[in-house]
Amino acid sequence: MGKFILSGIIQFVFLIVIQALVLNNIQFSGYVNPYLYIVFILWLPLSTPKALLLFLAFVLGLTLDVFTNTIGMHTSATVFMAFCRPYVLQTLVPRDGYEINQTPGIKDLGLKWFAAYAAMLTLLHHLFLFFVEVFRFTDFYDTIIRVVYSWVFTMILIFIAQYFRYNAEERR
Amino acid sequence: MQKLIRFIEKYSFFFLFLFFEVIAFYLLFQKNHFQRASFLNNSKVVSGEMYNQFSKLTNYLDLREVNEQLAEENRNLHDRQLKSFEKLYGPNVLINDTIYQQQYFYTKARIVNNSTNKQNNYLTLNVGKANGIESGMGVISSNGVVGIIRNVSEHYSTVLSMLHRSTKISVKLKNNNYFGSMQWDGKSYKEGVLMDIPNHVQISKGDTIITSGFSATFPANIPVATIKSFEKPEGENFYNIHLNFTTHFKNISYVYVIKNNWANEQVELEKKTKDENG
């Protein structure tokens, strides 16, 4: 358990640093800004209590907000995403249900399952975030395009991160 | 009562979600108030220091452009040096200069954090109260206007970038002095819009826009943009003008903060007039 918390904290710090210093500086054509840090919420084990889930999402969003000078913006989006997670898990439940110690990843639940799970939650997060950012529905299609572009890039990064994570686990 | 408790229990997850969302949105709307609060200011020290270290590293990557900018500025200064002027009349006479008094003072600053892809962009500079920076001062680069100082801590200050939905800068056309206000429409970091130019004015593509000097923030006649395109909307009295910023917001690394020595005098006088005459 202790080892688990420690690796969680390392993940948290690492993702925030990568997001604030590297990914927020990536801008293709002014439209794309991938948000990899939300993979932290995706990776939380299935047995995480729902209240803790919301709380961790809140802390994650707030920490990034401090770095990007947008207090409240990422926080609201990550909390929304954490709120949606149990419902997304419910819709994607495999035929014989989840097992207690499974983690939401490719290794335990398969590539197809993870792709659907990550895609849904990431899209929900991005939609919420970008609309909170502009805070109006004029330029609706402009915002949607930004959501879709960033979404695609975030998904690519999530799969890369997933690969690195398994590599690190196997080496241990 | 029991029903109520059961109801709350059943939807506890949803209520907890609402609770966190309310906090998040409260923070979002109370942003400025909370940034002043000590908790976030303290964490600002951590994030500011981190950005500072990181920008020290990435500064090397921009050296080429910085060198070019510096060389250009040096050329400009050489132009203005006394030795590049020829004396036309006899030997110099000592004159106690009572005609000129310096109004604007410039402070050099390095950008330690910058963004161009948000709807509201900010910059962080490595100068603060200790360097005499105050909220409301103008910030320019060697190419044009960058923004206006917002919050100031001991060693850092944040700048409301030109690329912020609420930044408005008073500008005029260089050719004929008609003035309007320059804003950003949130689309591209290269382009802005110019409002309030009446449609009987002669303008053309490529015209230069300069600061008007009306506000106490920027001196007059700093080039800020050129006209990219314009149209006359039916039934309106003003042009829709699209501008190309002269500042390259993506690759600026050094800027100048402008202190206007007479800013308070102007602001107070204008306020007094407004108050007295409604």
Q: Write down all domains in chain A, each with its CATH number in brackets.
A: 2-171 (1.10.1760)
Q: What is the pLDDT of residue B89?
A: 57
pTM, two decimals, is: 0.58
What number is the average pLDDT over the span B76-92?
A: 64
Whether residue A54 lies within 8 A of chain B, CB to CB, comes out as: yes
Q: How sure is the predictor about B40, in pLDDT bands with cuts at 50, 70 and 90?
A: low
Whether residue B119 lies within 8 A of chain A, CB to CB, comes out as: yes
Distance from CA of A170 to the nearest CA of B (A): 31
Distance from CA of A51 to the nearest CA of B (A): 7
Q: How sure is the predictor about A57, in pLDDT bands with cuts at 50, 70 and 90?
A: very high
> Do A130 and A147 meet the contact criterion of CB atoms below 8 Å apart?
yes
Distance from CA of A76 to the nearest CA of B (A): 5
What are A90-133's pLDDT values in tens digits? 888 877 778 777 778 888 888 888 999 999 999 999 999 988 88
Candidate from A20, A73, A76 with C-beta closest to B21: A76
Q: How sure is the predictor about B76, in pLDDT bands with cuts at 50, 70 and 90?
A: confident
**8 Å CB contact of B27 and A27:** no
Question: Which chain A residues have a beta carbon less than 8 Å from that of B50?
Answer: 20-21
Q: Can you tell me whether residue A32 is helix, strand or coil?
A: strand
**For B40, nearest residue in chain A (alpha carbons):** A66
Question: Which chain A residues have a beta carbon less than 8 Å from that of B52?
Answer: none
Candidate from B28, B31, B115 with C-beta closest to A76: B28
Segment 22-41 of chain A within 8 Å of chain B by CB: 24, 27, 30-31, 33
Q: How sure is the predictor about B6, in pLDDT bands with cuts at 50, 70 and 90?
A: confident
What are B153-173's pLDDT values in tens digits? 988 999 999 999 888 999 999
